A and B are shown apart, each in its own frame.
Chain A
Amino acid sequence: MRAFYGTTLANPLMLGTAQYPSPAILEAAFRESGASVATVSLRREGADGAGQTFWSMIRDLGVHVLPNTAGCHTVKEAVTTAHMAREIFDTPWIKLELIGHTDSLQPEVFQLVEAATVLTEDGFQVFPYTTEDLIVGERLLAAGCEVLMPWGAPIGSGRGLNNPYALRAMRAEFPDVPLVVDAGIGLPSHAAQAMELGYDAVLLNTSVARAGDPVAMARAMMGAVEAGALAYQADPIEARDMAEASTPVIGKAFLT
């Protein structure tokens, strides 16, 4: 597996921490799936110290923590949020989200490149949430990003990989860059498909947190990403239109 800024992950499942029915179920989903990365966020803290309780639980999981800039719409807002996240979570990693469209939550790729440039200069290790556009990918790498995270489908949509052709092209275009399908995964088969394309990890949240049994779904997702990764390494056969008998014809008895 390609390393993420020098860090080799134990497995290719990056799991979000939002929307679970309870903190206990969130914790069990991580412990039982073994997901190696947890995405987290920042919000206004009250005197009740809700953030402290959450942070203690995540820290105790012993996973890598990837803070996000979710909900940011401008470079300034995203850069300030990243600085605040680095101080709270004590990591240079930042999942850089710059939202450009209200309905699709499509990344605003122009500001994304600008923010990635600023943050890289400030010493951050940027994980940009981007589209499958190859030119944008090139610009992000030129800006100092060493990871790309194209969307599979809009966040929370559960549609799977909307454009496998483009994701395959991205894999071929950037053979040495760690690539993560981030967002849009609904089912384990979607996650497996991303790994079968040669991606290095899958980042998902809603499909696990909103499942009827989030813990079981987290385990299913782990099974899927591991199966997909193994399949990619195993060099799958090409699909063909016509049948090709797998059982040898030679030595077949004459019984007609």
Chain B
Amino acid sequence: MKITLNGEPRDIAATTLADLLVECGLNGRVATAVNEVFVPAAARETHAMKDGDRIEVLGAMQGG
């Protein structure tokens, strides 16, 4: 399945958002959005990935 992860095109085997994070090595404390909509951590297991999905995976960063 072809998706976009943090702006980069990816070809993935995962079928849920939770599996996608594992497949891409994003195992830490992150927050997720799919197609510009926030997906809470609790919903990742059941959130099915679709071809063409745009996924944002964010982590903590320095800020002012």
Contacts and interface: CB of A to CB of B under 8 A. Distances in A.
A42 B62 contact: no
Interface stretch (A43-51, A108-116, A229-237, A247-255): A43-51
Contacts of A39: 63-64
Contacts of A51: 28-30, 58-61
A49 B28 contact: yes
A68 interface: yes
A216 interface: no
A43 B37 CA distance: 16
B59 A41 contact: no
Contacts of B38: 80, 83-84
A52 interface: yes
B46 interface: no
B64 A42 contact: no
Contacts of B7: 44
A17 B63 contact: yes
A17 B59 CA distance: 15
Given A44-B7, A52-B28, A84 B33 contact: yes
Interface residues of B, number: 26
A67 interface: yes
B57 A44 contact: yes
Contacts of B6: 44-46
Given A84-B31, A84-B33, A87-B31, A43 B40 contact: no
B11 interface: no
Given A45-B57, A80-B33, A88-B58, 6 more contacts: A16-B64, A41-B62, A43-B58, A47-B26, A51-B58, A83-B31
Q: Kindly list the 9 A-B residue pairs having the minimum CB-CB distance in the complex, ordered from nearest.
A: A51-B59, A41-B63, A45-B59, A16-B64, A205-B64, A84-B31, A55-B60, A52-B28, A47-B25
30 contacts: A17-B63, A18-B64, A19-B62, A19-B64, A26-B62, A39-B63, A40-B61, A41-B60, A41-B62, A41-B63, A43-B58, A44-B6, A44-B57, A44-B58, A45-B26, A45-B57, A45-B59, A47-B26, A50-B61, A51-B30, A52-B59, A52-B60, A54-B59, A58-B60, A70-B64, A80-B33, A80-B36, A83-B31, A83-B40, A88-B30
